[in-house]
Amino acid sequence: MIINTNATALNTYNKVNKFQKNLRSSLERLSSGKRINKAADDAAGLAISQKMNGQVRGTAQAQRNVQDGISLLQTAEGGLAEIQDPPLQRMRELALQAANDTYTENDRKAMQNEFDEMKNSIDDIANNTEFNTQKLLNVKIESVTEVDSVNGTDETGSTEETQGTEESQKVEPVGEWVYNEYGQWTNAISVDSEGNSYVGYYDGTIIKLNSNGDEIFNFKAADNAMINEIEISLNDNIVITSNDETVKKLDPDQNTLWVFNDHYDHVKGLAIDNNNNIITGSRAGPGNYDTIRKKNSSGDEIWRYSLPSEAIGTLDIVSDENN
């Protein structure tokens, strides 16, 4: 049995322990750079410090998120820039070039081929522009969840994917349909009394769609010539003008009723008045004069009018209630 009776030694021992405790606390503060490292240092101060530390770390992460968003937008912007120039600019040039009547149908087919290649290149860029394996330009977003920073509530919305195609589209108050099966430039559209749509294409084809967008029939209305205008007469006969210098009238079963071919150049303007007479206009003919012609429902010419020589071509015609 040992009796600790050396008071001086015990006092020295206690002072050494206290010194070592203070030394550990000082070394801890020096190593961490913080005055408060545990609740024993300052309980209230530690709670405040942890709250502020959480806010600082959250702000730092928000800054990193913003930088990631900027990087994503820069990637998407680069993809859009590649789409705009050269593909879109070149497609616009081709569209304007094809409107020039000095080119033949074979020339326009070559332009169409290049146009299709530009369209495919746009699809490639849209399909391959990614950020962290996420599609940026060709993506279907099922839902996006936004967290309200004040109330902590989630708000979810959804979007649907849309892609650019060559199509005919009808929009109604209760819905819509889209027809995009043919894959040619749409140049003329008209609607008959039953709500059927007649769509004229670059290659001379006409497609008839019912009010639901279902194809009823298609037929070649002009051989290797672009359909410029389509109008439906009072008895649902079809009147068309085209780049082969003709005006043609067909019955609802696609049978040709008559063909008027006395125009000098591409027939572009077309209108039908209240008496079922047909008014057409064409590009300049002999003497560089454009002509406006009025024909009755049988195709017989009633009158013609020559525009001034300075005119560069008739593009459209409208008939009022006075015919």
User: What pTM was estimated for this model as a whole?
Assistant: 0.42
User: CA-CA distance, 73 to 54, in Å (whole number)?
Assistant: 28
Query: What DSSP string runs through 66-123?
Result: HHHHHHHHHHHHHHHHHHIIIIIHHHHHHHHHHT-TTS-HHHHHHHHHHHHHHHHHHH
Domain presence at residue 79: yes
User: Could you tell me how many residues make up the chain?
Assistant: 323
Query: Any idea what the CATH number is for the domain that residue 51 is in?
Result: 1.20.1330.10
Please give the pLDDT value at position 179.
Answer: 54
For residue 316, the 8-state DSSP code is -
Task: Give the span between the Cα atoms of 276 and 268, in whole angstroms.
Answer: 19
pLDDT in tens, 288-321: 556 788 888 888 888 888 766 545 555 556 665 5
Does residue 93 lie in a domain region?
yes
**8 A C-beta contact, residue 188 and residue 202:** no
Mean pLDDT is lowest, of 51-55, 58-62, 298-302, for 298-302
266, two tokens: 């591409």
The rounded distance, in Å, linking the Cα atoms of 186 and 227 is 9
User: pLDDT confidence of 141, banded at 50, 70, 90?
Assistant: low
Q: How confident is the model at residue 262 (pLDDT cuts 50, 70, 90)?
A: low
pLDDT band for 68, please (50, 70, 90 cuts): very high
* pLDDT of 150 over the 50 cut: no
Q: How many helices and strands, by DSSP H and E, does the chain display? A: 4, 18
Q: What pLDDT is stored for residue 154 in this prediction?
A: 47
Q: Residue 212 is part of a domain; what is its CATH number?
A: 2.120.10.30
- Number of folded domains in the chain? 2
Residue 203 lies in a domain: yes
What's the pLDDT at 57? 94
Residue range 147-175: mean pLDDT, rounded = 45
In a shared domain, residues 192 and 301: yes
pLDDT > 90 fraction of the chain, expressed in percent and rounded: 22
| Average pLDDT over every residue of 159-181 | 47
Put residue 173 in one of left, alpha, beta given phi > 0 → left and psi -120 to 50 → alpha. Answer: alpha
Per residue in 18-40, pLDDT (tens digit) is 888 888 888 887 888 777 777 77
* Arithmetic mean of pLDDT over the chain: 78
Instruction: Count other C-beta atoms under 10 Å from residue 279's C-beta.
Output: 21
The answer to the question of residue 26 being in a domain is no
| Across 222-233, average pLDDT | 82
pLDDT reported for residue 152: 46
Residue 20 maps to a domain: no
Tens of pLDDT, residue by residue over 176-224, are 555 555 556 677 888 888 888 888 877 788 888 888 888 888 888 877 7
Q: How far apart are CA 29 and CA 176, in angstroms?
A: 70
Same domain, 117 and 229: no
In this prediction, residue 287 carries a pLDDT of: 52
State which of 108, 128, 148 marks the end of a domain.
Answer: 128
- 173 has pLDDT over 80: no
Look up the domain containing 195 and give its range: 185-306
Q: How far apart are CA 289 and CA 292, in angstroms?
A: 10
pLDDT band at 118 (very low <50, low <70, confident <90, very high): very high
